[in-house]
């Protein structure tokens, strides 16, 4: 996370435009990304898009766009997003350990 802080330290955050939202699906998609070695790329994309561009990261199409932009399969990403049970246990396990 320190690398992200350094990378974006000079950028301005758009906190006034950020839309509070449920991030469970973004976290589930990140767990799927982890299973294919793309979690760091997706996490960076999500961070930047949420805090800098004020994107709504609960929207499935937006999340699938992010996944596709880093080389993930869009259809597989959408399949994860549309099945609320996929990767939910992994997300909840992460929550329990933090």
**Residues 6+ positions from 38 with CB-CB distance below 8 Å:** 67, 70, 71, 72
pLDDT tens string 8-54: 555 677 777 888 899 999 999 999 999 999 999 999 999 999 988 88
pTM value is 0.84
DSSP 8-state code for residue 70: T
**Residues 6+ positions from 26 with CB-CB distance below 8 Å:** 46, 57, 58, 63
């Amino acid at each position: 996370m320190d690398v992200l802080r350094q990378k974006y330290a000079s950028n301005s955050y758009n906190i006034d435009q950020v839309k509070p939202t449920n991030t469970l699906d973004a976290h589930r998609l990140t767990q799927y990304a982890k299973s294919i070695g793309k979690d760091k790329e997706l996490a960076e994309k999500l961070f930047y898009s949420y805090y800098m561009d004020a994107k709504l990261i609960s929207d499935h199409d937006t999340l699938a766009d992010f996944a596709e932009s880093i080389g993930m399969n869009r259809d597989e990403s959408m399949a994860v997003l549309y099945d609320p049970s996929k990767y939910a246990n992994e997300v909840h396990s992460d929550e329990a350990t933090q």
